[in-house]
Chain A
Amino acid sequence: MTDQAYNFAYLDEQTKRMIRRAILKAVAVPGYQVPFASREMPMPYGWGTGGVQVTAACLVPEDVLKVIDQGADDTTNAVSIRKFFRRVSGVAVTEATTEATVIQTRHRIPETPLHAGQILVYQVPIPEPLRFLEPRETETRKMHALEEYGLMQVKLYEDIARHGTIATSYAYPVAVEGRYVMDPSPIPKFDNPKLSDSPALQLFGAGRESRIYALPPHTQVVSLDFDDHPFQPTKAAHDCDLCGAATSYLDEVITDDAGGRMFVCSDTDFCGGRRAVGHTGRLGTREAPNPTRGEGASPPPRGEGPGVGGHAGQRAEVVK
């Protein structure tokens, strides 16, 4: 049921056309930040207005939309944005990565590989990878135009000189098709390899800074490094305590006062999917239904083990 007072997907057609033109320019020059006339949206700048505008410009009534934040469909901002689009466009929504045609994300790339025809829309706070080295926009624009990225490499050098390793763990800068240096949004560097040669179209929207950039399908994206200090997509050295996945990015959850902790997949759809087909982790059990898919969770599983502390059998209500 759409809100009749607004155009489909909230933005008027002129605005959508303007945004699409910017998207086309961005796709034509991968990694280059295209300025666009960002509109005032009903949610604050800094809370995803760029992503929302890009999604709104792309949506057609037949689309199936997934919205995630920190990898989860359930975090408050993802819920809020998903609700917004349901209200102003009436498109179907899903939590299943494989079923979605458009995925709007904040800070993560889904673990499930994307396929051709999907669009991944990233929310970007600061689009300029050089911003913290050079605060002036007039200067960074020139640096991109003239391919003057020495300063970026110097920063990485300084990290190694001081810490022994590159000290950037998220929003890790990348070189696109050997030309533009790009900020992939604050995804953990663990996700960087997924940027490259993806069958999906990846769009990046920065509302407050008024920039759109893009990675067309199958674009070569390389994380900046040194030959003798190569890029490492690291994550916590654990498996998911619920589904046992060894290769997915994990959230660390503190479970008791003593600092006991557990690790669970940040990608809730991925984790739930694995558990639905029987995978378990250290603290998951076969009988446990997947509480993140659908309503009406059954009684909690009685998991025990180190790190759970005295709360075995108790359901922790986490209202994010």
Chain B
Amino acid sequence: MTGPLLSVRGLTRTYGARIGCADVSFDLYPGEVLGIVGESGSGKSTLLSCLAGHQRPDAGAVLFRTAAGLTDTVTMAEPDRRRLARTDWAFVHQNPRDGLRMGVSAGGNVGERLMATGARHYGAIRDRATDWMGRVEIAADRIDDRPSAFSGGMQQRLQIARNLVTGPRLVFMDEPTGGLDVSVQARLLDLIRGLVRDLGLSVIIVTHDLAVVRLLAHRLMVMKSGRVVEAGLTDQVLDDPQHAYTQLLVSSILQV
């Protein structure tokens, strides 16, 4: 595959007079992890929302490489966009309850995307679900339990399994470690890093936690007040920040 997997041009979203995100452009290549960092109100969540098709931007294009070449997902027909969201794309919510069906068993949650794309063999679906639960380190005997019986970390891992089971090429993550204990976070990040490497996933991850991007992201975009103030390789940006705001961010981290 030549060329970027995702190409974003001039993405803008405003709320009346207030800027959500303004004029964001970047390319994402297969196997790349892009981190978007900034503090609350920086516009990173709005940006992710627009990229993933949850909101409609006011201007700009989000070009995704489908079988038919680079296609603008903003102007795509809704049925096509929804199908994309079920197959080639994945979205990991900050709060796993937003990304899981709490009233459905773990196996049902993981199997849903398979069933939604035509899988009709109960045993095979169950095997795939068990397999994926293993990959995200959830015991196989919990396959019939509801997510409400899981810890926060387990729910998050289940959400990841549910999203990855159809082999998406692009994964959006919104603060996936938010709200979790530090040790649980570490385990989750390790898991994500392994999956990204093994599956060759492209990921766009939004976070306010610089440690997360240090661990996971190849490249970084720093946002402030809806605009990208700095972008580049993660290590370069974090070790040698150029923009004043980035310098502030980096220097604010407690060194433990």
Binding site for B on A (CB under 8 A): 145-146, 148-151, 153-154, 157-158, 160-162, 225-229
In the assembled complex, B184 has its CB within 8 A of some CB on chain A: no
Partner of B79, one of A146, A154, A157: A146
Q: Are B122 and A228 in contact (CB under 8 A)?
A: yes
Q: Which size class do B's interface residues fall under?
A: 20 to 34
Choose among B112, B115, B125 the residue with the greatest number of A CB atoms under 10 Å from its CB.
B115
Is residue B113 within 8 Å, beta carbon to beta carbon, of the partner chain?
yes
Contact A150 B125 (CB under 8 A): no
Docked CA distance A228–B121 (Å): 6
Contact with A along B72-107 (1 / 0, CB 8 A): 000000110011001000000000000001001101
When A148-B82, A148-B116 are in contact, do A157 and B107 touch as well, CB less than 8 Å? yes
Q: Point out the residue from A146, A150, A228 that lies within 8 Å of B112, measured CB to CB.
A: A150
Q: Are B116 and A161 in contact (CB under 8 A)?
A: no
Contact of B115 among A145, A150, A227 (CB under 8 A): A150
B35: Cβ under 8 A from any A Cβ:
no
Nearest Cβ distance between residue A208 and chain B, in whole angstroms?
27
Which applies to chain B's interface (DSSP): helix, strand, loop or mixed?
helix
Q: Is B123 an interface residue (CB 8 A)?
A: yes
4 extra A-B contacts, CB within 8 A, seeds A148-B116, A162-B105: A154-B115, A157-B122, A161-B105, A225-B120
Asked if B120 and A227 make an inter-chain contact with CB atoms under 8 angstroms apart, the answer reads yes
What are some 25 contacts across the A-B interface (CB < 8 A)?
Answer: A145-B79, A146-B79, A148-B86, A150-B86, A150-B116, A153-B120, A154-B108, A154-B111, A157-B115, A157-B125, A158-B104, A158-B105, A158-B108, A160-B122, A161-B105, A161-B107, A161-B126, A161-B143, A161-B144, A162-B105, A225-B120, A227-B121, A227-B122, A228-B123, A228-B124
The 9 nearest A-B residue pairs measured at CB: A150-B116, A153-B115, A226-B122, A227-B121, A146-B79, A154-B108, A150-B115, A154-B112, A227-B120
Min CB distance A87 to B, Å, is 48
Asked whether B120 lies within 8 Å of A226 as measured between CB atoms, the reply is yes
Measured between beta carbons, the chain B residues less than 8 angstroms from A162 are 105, 144
Q: Is the interface of A mostly helix, strand, loop or mixed?
A: helix
Cα(A160)–Cα(B104), bound, Å: 12
Min CB distance, B38 to chain A, in Å? 33
Looking at A145, A161, A162, A229, the one whose CB has the most chain B CB atoms below 10 A away is A161
Instruction: Kindly provide the distance from the CB of B118 to the nearest chain A CB, expressed in whole angstroms.
Output: 9
Partner of B116, one of A153, A158, A226, A229: A153
A157 near B108 with CB under 8 A, answer yes
State the CA gap A84–B143 with chains docked (Å): 55
Give A259 Cβ to nearest chain B Cβ, in Å. Answer: 35
Distance between Cα atoms of A154 and B162 in the complex (Å)? 13
Cα A227 to Cα B107 in complex, Å, equals 18
Tell me which of B108, B124, B126 has the highest count of chain A C-beta atoms within 10 A of its own C-beta.
B108
Residues in chain A near residue B104, CB distance under 8 A: 154, 158
Do A146 and B82 touch (CB < 8 A)? Answer: yes
CB neighbours (8 Å) of B126 from chain A are: 161
Chain A residue nearest to B101 (CB atoms) is A154
Q: Are B111 and A157 in contact (CB under 8 A)?
A: yes
